[in-house]
Structure 1
């Protein structure tokens, strides 16, 4: 799933010596030597540890099995309990470190594990140039690469039930957020018993996406100023987006009746069985539906389209399964073995890896595997022109979904949701010692 980091908890849990809440840059660079790697060179006797989340434990299995067979190395996965994004910094603060780890490769999340101090630099690895444009932009902090991108970032867009759209007479996909709301109103009027949208208040994290899609017209200058404490999350555009979600979608009856308590699993079921017409969510919803369906059924029943505030553009939202980081251990054999594993994973093994996991490729030269649902192919095509969500653009990503959950229960107004985001944003960046805060 595409959750976000509980920001302040992660910052202050990582109490590594005296650097608990600062941007420490001490230690060796961990920079990689230039030149290609022999990805299948013998590593007999070398043991590596990789941390994974509960929902990503199976993700690296194919790559690990193939690497062990090719090199003689042993890679052991260790599951870090949920919430992964806050438990990882806590475990690191205890002095325990893995050799490799799944981690969200964004500028708002990489700093929580102090990459300059803890991670190997991956600037010169032989797989970097193979990545697609969007994937190449990820995994970097202060001009250096610290994460390998092994899967495409989640793509945010709208899954829709084809039969519901047909019954409503909708033949052209909406090209703006307002168009989409208008189509939702048409579905409500013309297709009784079908909820125009399925919203997920029970799991909270998907609540952010309706707001995120409306923030796409904010210029890059806004995010630059926000990151310098010259702009605020209480900007009228953000407050309006939150207000629109509340008043024009939820209060207008365009979501299912149990939107306050419904779950992510419920969302996939409702979309597939046609009791909901649309779901605005990221790629993890597709994975959830695939687990209980198949490509033929999905292609028959479901479609997907990109949406932004004023255009038919998708957004991308990295999660912890997209990035793999390698830690400085002081043991050159293990560090070099970790680099070799990444070179193997994103090199010789990559076609087999994406085929086994039934996912799209992060490398333009490596074609997508056969048999993917059309929703996945549509998302892959949309990625090259997609824009980043605020987890990509902001120095730290506030837990807006938690404040939105308060809003749907009447505990916060839209303005208070925006203020909560601003308060947390400031608090975290102050704790990290970022200039201007």
Structure 2
């Protein structure tokens, strides 16, 4: 289990490097000649993220002659990889968003430790803190390609203007703004309940404010039960918001049919139906792709509201590349993924923050993304996505217990939250 304190240090180091322009850091040289074969890369990325990543793979192909194949794993990367491994057909490389899954796979012997130029590239281009995040039992297995800021809500400026709403800073202001929007005939929220990871993100942001950073760490490692009063209180706040009249696009039942991509269209598409989407920095690139609204002008973000005077807090996520094979072509691609060139190609597409300290901040497409890096750096508290730290059976897949229970909650937010907390605890006791 990766401790969130180390992630706080890593994010601080990453933002400091970006602000400094990464001057004086030299990337490790990578051999790209004399290679051949095919490398299969598996990830859950779709849409803009997938398109940007394919640009990285295409550049690698041109430099080396190695063919790359991108395979989508869907939302449940861990389950997909387990099936491939069990069937004797593991991919060459996987992009995994759950540190707990990486640790489990490494200890089962499913992953190959990095060495040679791949390890040299990680050492040269990442801070010691980020390198440590990809380390399991003293060996480096993973490198982080991206860090996502998940403690923001995106909104349409035209909707706020029509209702006379200002950017809320506190939870009370947030709820009041939603009611004002609803009274003006504008549905406040698009909630992508069909992609249940968005529900865990929302819970984690509320819980970090209500429970505080220490309890967040304890709950993430199941050192306190899900029946703890702080969990119940967080669920109560969410339930009141989700059950209020006219709050959710499509109603509670309809929200369960909306996935993440559709939720972006529900707010920022050609025929918008809602005003607010609470999700990470990667929404920005999806808005740009949709084309109607301009990020930073007609589509803006606000920090997740503080609750009862709690310190400004940020929940982050991240995807790390790991190798399931150790042939020369696979390790060459791992080395390239850790390079300055790779990071800058990906960064130009927008929608995420790179932990690669050699990447030029000018590679980001706009001030909005650079501002998100600053937002992370100015937070009083930074914590890694709790569900990604949990065992995959609890928080990291489409059939994960936390995912399913929060979907039930979205469908019926008036349910007894004490009973819901008890069911979450029973699942955690089994899965952890």
Write out per-residue CA displacement over residues 15-67 of structure 1, whole angstroms, 9 at most, x where no aligned residue: xxxxxxxxxxxxxxxxxxxxx96413423334433223472654532222222
8 Å CA contact 1:181–1:249 kept in 2: the answer is no
SS state at 1:300 partner = coil
CA contact (8 A) 1:355 1:369 kept: no
1:134 and 1:274 map into 2 onto residues whose CA distance is 42
Contact 1:37/1:343, CA 8 A, preserved across alignment? no
TM-aligned CA distance change 1:234 to 1:144, over 3 Å: farther
Name the counterpart of 1:40.
Answer: 31
Indicate whether 1:406 and 2:408 are aligned.
yes
Q: Partner of 1:241 in structure 2? A: 234
Q: For 2:359, which of 363, 366, 372 is the aligned residue?
A: 366
What residue is the counterpart of 1:304 in the other structure? 301
Structure 1 pair 265/338, CA: closer, same or farther in 2 (3 Å)?
closer
Q: How does 1:164-203 map to 2 (within 5 A)?
A: 164-171=159-166, 173-189=167-183, 192-203=184-195
> Alpha-carbon deviation of 1:223?
5.0
Matching residue of 2:207: 215
Whole-Å separation in 2 of the counterparts to 1:388 and 1:42:
38
For structure 1, list consecutive stretches of 5 or more residues without a partner in the other structure. Answer: 1-35, 430-437
Asked if 1:291 is matched to 2:289, the reply is yes
User: Do the aligned partners of residues 314 and 50 (structure 1) sit closer, same or farther apart at CA in structure 2, a change above 3 Å counting?
Assistant: same
Query: Residue 151 of structure 1 corresponds to which residue in structure 2?
Result: 146
Instruction: Determine helix, strand or coil for the equivalent of 2:254.
Output: coil
53, 59, 65: which one aligns with 1:66 = 59
> What's the CA shift for 1:184?
2.1
Q: Please say if residues 28 and 124 of structure 2, whose CA atoms lie closer than 8 Å, have aligned partners that are also in contact.
A: no
Tell me the CA shift for residue 158 of structure 1. 0.6
Over residues 71-93 of structure 1, what are the superposed CA-to-partner deviations in whole Å (9 max), with x where a residue is unaligned?
33333334446644312212212
Once the 2 structures are TM-superposed, how far is the Cα of residue 346 of structure 1 from its aligned partner? 2.5
SS at match of 2:94: strand
TM-score normalised by L of structure 2? 0.75
Cα distance in 1 between the residues matched to 2:343 and 2:388: 27
Does structure 2 retain, via aligned residues, the 8 Å contact 1:115–1:146? Answer: no
Q: Is the 8 A contact 1:43 1:73 kept in 2?
A: no
Instruction: Tell me the number of residue pairs that the alignment of Structure 1 and Structure 2 aligns.
Output: 382
| Aligned 8 A contact 1:223 1:393 in 2 | no
Q: Are the structure 2 counterparts of residues 142 and 115 from structure 1 closer, same or farther at C-alpha, using a change threshold of 3 Å?
A: same
Question: Are the aligned partners of 2:340 and 2:359 in contact in 1 as well (CA < 8 Å)?
Answer: no
Cα offsets for 1:288-336 (capped at 9, x unmatched): 3232116x73333111122154344332123xxx22101245xxxx1x4
**Following superposition of structure 1 onto structure 2, how do residues 20-59 of structure 1 map, counting pairs within 5 Å?**
38-53=29-44, 55=46, 58-59=51-52
Distance 2:243 2:216 in 1: 28
Is the CA contact 2:347–2:354 (under 8 Å) kept in the aligned structure 1?
no
Q: Distance in 2 between matches of 1:65 and 1:282?
A: 27
**CA–CA separation in structure 2 for the residues paired with 1:325 and 1:133:** 18
CA shift digits 1:206-248 (9 cap, x unpaired): 2333322111143554355446654101111111111211124
Residue-by-residue CA offset, 1:113-165 (whole Å, 9 max, x unaligned): 34561222348433345336985564343454321111223533110121232
> Contact (CA 8 Å) 1:212, 1:390: kept in 2 or not?
yes
Answering whether residue 110 of structure 2 is matched by residue 118 of structure 1, we say yes
Shift in alpha-carbon separation, 1:165–1:368, aligned structure 2, 3 A: same
Q: 1:41 to 1:48 in 2, by over 3 A?
A: same
Which whole-Å CA distance do the structure 1 matches of 2:424 and 2:340 have between them?
43
Assess, with a 3 A threshold, how the Cα gap between structure 1 residues 125 and 306 changes in structure 2: closer, same or farther: farther
Q: Is the alpha carbon distance of 1:212 and 1:380 closer, same or farther for their aligned partners in structure 2, counting shifts above 3 Å?
A: same
Mark the CA change 1:407 to 1:391 in structure 2 (over 3 Å): closer, same or farther. Answer: closer
When the two chains are superposed, the root-mean-square deviation of aligned CA atoms in Å is 3.4
For 1:233 and 1:179, the matched residues in 2 are separated by 28
TM-score relative to the length of structure 1: 0.74
